[in-house]
Amino acid sequence: MMSPASRRTRALVALAVGVALVGATPADARPPVPPQPPAPEVSDATVHDPDHIAVDGVHYVFGSHLQVARSDDLVAWEQVAAGVNAANPIFEDVTEELSEALEWAETDSLWAPDVTQLPDGRFAMYYNACRGDSPRSAMGLAVADDVTGPYEDQGIFLKSGMWDQESEDGTVYDARVHPNVVDPDVFTDTDGRWWMVYGSFSGGIFILELDPVTGFPLPDQGYGTHLWGGNHARIEGPTVHYDAETGFYYLFVTYGGLDADGGYNVRVARSTAPDGPYLDMAGRSMGEVAADPSKPLFDDVSIAHTGVKLMGNHEFTRLPGDPGSGRGTGYVSPGGSSPFTVDGLDYLVFHTRFPGQGEIHQVRVHEMFLDAQGWPVLAPLRYGGDSYRTSKRHDAVGTWAVVDHAPKDIDIDVHAAQQVTLTQQGLVTGAWTGTWERVGVDRILLNLDGDPVTAELSRQFDPGRAEWVWTFTGLQPDGAALWGVRTEHVSAQEAVERVAADLSVPATTATDLDLPVLGTQGSVIAWTTSMPDVISPDGEVNRPEQGEPDAVVTLSATIANGDATAEVAFEVTVPARAGTGLVAHYAFDGDLTSPQTASGTVTGPLIDAPGGRISYAEGVAGQAAVFDGASGVRLPDGTVHGPTWSVSLWLNPSAATQHTTTFFAAQSATSWVSLVPRGPGSMDSMVWSGTQWYDASFGRQIPTGEWTHVAFTVDAGDIVAWIDGERVHESSGFPDVLKDPSAVFALGVNWWDVPYQGLLDDLRVFDVVLTDADVAGLAGR
């Protein structure tokens, strides 16, 4: 898949500790700066763990769950396929073609594949299936005449997770030292030999030599050579990229867990040989990196300091008064990367989640450069279709938003950008202090609080500001990336006026307000309120009680930046509490009637689909509704609405399919609430909301084949959930979804996902808050 030689046109500065510092070249000796290119026309696709291959100038990425996308320019992506099902065009019927692997791994899905082209022109897919909660996996080879298939299985060649049985190397399988046979990546070395790296958690990352004619591993290698990780260290997704100018093979991996709270981050090490040893910036061999066996399973502390961290959780937050719109640009749990070269330029494609958006993920491509010591670094912003690095001194002088990817801990912290200024006199001020110098036209040397950082300059497109801006990227001495994006600087008075103009507060609210206290360029925002018992200065809302009049509150903001100030005021209505109690009760005793509201109606596999059938069986009390996995129930529109509402029901799933809903309520297709027995990410049961993305996780998955009582209350942004009368979740900031009586309600179906299969009984919907005592009574405790 990877070319054995990089075709980069720019010569690499010699690999040495001392780098010659070059002064500013006279302006007339440099070519003029070209005009800014147009804004890229971006379209996004969903491919987890994307693996890149280019065919006839078209870029394809293949990922987990048989997701596939294509692009002509690395900017606009088109979804080609998704889902391990008979309809996926990559196979005639993948469930039949790869049935042996799926059955061995005891799963219905596939993990990240690698697709490469064999010497005879055929395309080889290295597929893999994994149970998920254990390393029971199978890896095999399928081939096709076209890159998009249909692929035909050639057979399984590796297995793992065979507890107490002989493994591929002839010894009894031990998950602490043997690999989980997933996440393959194929590459060619400088001698034309073919290799495959692979592995996830368990015994770590391994490498096997392949026969390029057949595509299968050469015989008598067992699992191959160990390269990185072990003892269940959370390291996976290996891929190797060779650079001819440095002579290094670069091994990229992902540390941490894949979901939004898993801390996924991209690391790299390098070697002069394809099969290692691979070293990080400290000269540490990755073959010695493993979790501490004396600590709990999946110990991250033992490995966090190792490898070179190229990217992790971060956000270039947009503050009030900053140019552009939205909350800013950033990533959560980026990983599953694949490096590649096009026309002498290097790129990295990966998937990522986003701040405040839960488990939604998309493909991203970033330019990749080599620093003065020959380490890869990533541009801070996604690739916009244009590559330009010839800067002038004034392009570096100014104010920057800087993200520090240190510390290298594997956690949920989102590293927020801080303000730094590079002065015309060569000083660094702000969050860091020190000095800076130019090194040629595309590099600067920063000395930050005593630490040197050689940073690569490039022009990238900022989607929040909708303009091309200068950026820098470099590595700190501890092996963590430092990213900068040049920002606009205005006078203090203009800054406070921009903040005042940008602030907004809803005219009516029953939920707590997020009142910002910081604005652009260090502006400080102080809030006062005419009725602090209703809306406090920090935005906490206390609604008047039922029967009292609505409250009208004046919120005032004073913005200060040095001696400059500005003021703005808002009038906000806080409605009094309302509610009658129980608004719907469906007992399912042979029908879909409710004494409080209209009857439910049967649907097909989607809310608006015709057909379907609901039958009845013995329930918790009397009868229960039987959902067959192809039907649902549409409840009356506007069953409940407003900021306060509650749900109580009994569930007995016969299958737990990810994202399948039991109770679904939606104001629109982009604003909904769903009670899911098996949620995204961790797959715990949860109250899930989109597309503001909120996961109210129960911390465990409700069982199949038995009855469980579930209840939850939403009250002006606060949410509490119970399982069998036990409180399992409590948090704030839950979206206000059910705003008016047009909201849609359903059981077992929504507009997208596989319908519910199992029993449902005694559904009750309230327009008031439920207490622990209320829920205990409903759960029969």
pLDDT score, position 296: 86
Residue 627 lies in a domain: yes
Whether residues 721 and 637 fall in one domain: yes
CA 555: distance to chain centroid? 36
Alpha-carbon distances of 166 from 172, 179, 382, 418, 523, rounded to whole Å:
4, 14, 46, 54, 65
Q: Which residues contact 29 (CB under 8 A, 6 or more apart)?
A: none
The count of C-alpha atoms lying within 13 angstroms of the C-alpha of 177, restricted to the half-sphere facing its C-beta, is 8
For residue 775, give the H/E element and its range.
helix 772-778
Residue 592 lies in a domain: yes
Q: Which residues contact 99 (CB under 8 A, 6 or more apart)?
A: none
Classify burial at 687, counting beta carbons within 10 Å of its beta carbon; exposed 0-12, middle 13-18, buried 19 or more: buried
pLDDT score, position 691: 78
Catalytic residue among 236, 512, 715, 736: 236
Per mean pLDDT, which range of 57-66, 261-270, 292-301 is the poorest?
A: 292-301
When divided into structural domains, the chain yields a total of 3
Whether residues 623 and 769 fall in one domain: yes
The rounded distance, in Å, linking the Cα atoms of 380 and 457 is 10
Whether residues 727 and 614 fall in one domain: yes
For residue 496, give the H/E element and its range.
helix 492-502
pLDDT score, position 27: 36
The rounded distance, in Å, linking the Cα atoms of 96 and 512 is 52
Whether residues 503 and 621 fall in one domain: no
Confidence of residue 32 (pLDDT cuts 50, 70, 90): low
Is the pLDDT at 353 greater than 90? The verdict is: yes
Residue whose token pair is 């801006």: 469
Q: Which residues contact 441 (CB under 8 A, 6 or more apart)?
A: 25, 30, 389, 390, 391, 392, 457
pLDDT score, position 681: 67
- Are the beta carbons of 576 and 543 closer than 8 angstroms? yes
The count of C-alpha atoms lying within 13 angstroms of the C-alpha of 130, restricted to the half-sphere facing its C-beta, is 22
The rounded distance, in Å, linking the Cα atoms of 318 and 327 is 5
> What is the total residue count of the chain?
781
553, 574, 595 - which closes a domain: 574
Whether residues 691 and 620 fall in one domain: yes
Whether residues 458 and 594 fall in one domain: no
465, 487, 509 - which closes a domain: 487
Is the pLDDT at 7 greater than 60? The verdict is: no
Whether residues 662 and 539 fall in one domain: no
Is the pLDDT at 16 greater than 50? The verdict is: no
The rounded distance, in Å, linking the Cα atoms of 306 and 173 is 27
Work out the average pLDDT over 25-37: 56
| 474: β partners | 455, 482
pLDDT score, position 510: 86
pLDDT score, position 407: 94
pLDDT score, position 682: 66
Whether residues 404 and 475 fall in one domain: yes
Summarised one tens digit per residue, pLDDT across range 518-566 is 999 999 999 999 999 999 999 999 999 889 999 999 999 999 999 999 9
359 is a catalytic site residue:
no
Is the pLDDT at 130 greater than 80? The verdict is: yes
pLDDT score, position 409: 95
Domain span holding position 472: 393-487
Work out the average pLDDT over 246-266: 95
| CATH number reported for the structural domain that contains residue 678 in this entry | 2.60.120.200
In 3D space, the residue among 148, 149, 139, 127 whose CA is nearest the CA of residue 64 turns out to be: 127
Collapsed DSSP state (helix, strand, coil) of residue 146 = coil
Confidence of residue 104 (pLDDT cuts 50, 70, 90): very high
In 3D space, the residue among 634, 652, 615 whose CA is nearest the CA of residue 759 turns out to be: 652
The neighbour count for residue 477, using CB atoms within 10 Å, is 12
Whether residues 505 and 629 fall in one domain: no
Residue 433 lies in a domain: yes
Residue 278 phi/psi, 5-degree rounding, is: -100, 130
pLDDT score, position 34: 66
- Are the beta carbons of 406 and 281 closer than 8 angstroms? no
Q: Which residues contact 355 (CB under 8 A, 6 or more apart)?
A: 315, 327, 328, 330, 331, 332, 414
| 567: β partners | 558
Work out the average pLDDT over 438-444: 96
- Token pair of 91, please? 């196979």
pLDDT score, position 577: 86
Per mean pLDDT, which range of 56-70, 387-401, 418-432, 672-686 is the poorest?
A: 672-686
Per mean pLDDT, which range of 2-11, 106-115, 173-182 is the poorest?
A: 2-11
Residue 257 lies in a domain: no
Work out the average pLDDT over 480-504: 96
Work out the average pLDDT over 469-494: 96
Alpha-carbon distances of 330 from 355, 357, 415, 690, rounded to whole Å:
7, 11, 9, 19
Summarised one tens digit per residue, pLDDT across range 733-744 is 899 999 889 999
pLDDT score, position 326: 86
| 71: β partners | 59, 77
Whether residues 536 and 608 fall in one domain: no
245 is a catalytic site residue:
no
468, 487, 506 - which closes a domain: 487
Per mean pLDDT, which range of 229-238, 357-366, 706-715 is the poorest?
A: 357-366
pLDDT score, position 781: 64
Residue 556 lies in a domain: yes
pLDDT score, position 693: 83
Whether residues 556 and 656 fall in one domain: no
Residue 610 lies in a domain: yes
- Are the beta carbons of 569 and 555 closer than 8 angstroms? yes
Which regions of 423-563 does DSSP assign to beta strands (E)? 427-430, 434-438, 443-448, 451-462, 467-475, 481-487, 524-529, 551-561
The rounded distance, in Å, linking the Cα atoms of 98 and 85 is 11
The rounded distance, in Å, linking the Cα atoms of 747 and 634 is 6
Summarised one tens digit per residue, pLDDT across range 277-328 is 999 999 999 999 999 999 988 999 999 999 999 999 999 999 999 998 888 9
Is the pLDDT at 453 greater than 70? The verdict is: yes
For residue 499, give the H/E element and its range.
helix 492-502
pLDDT score, position 511: 84
Summarised one tens digit per residue, pLDDT across range 609-640 is 999 999 999 999 899 999 999 999 999 999 99
How high is the mean pLDDT of the chain?
93
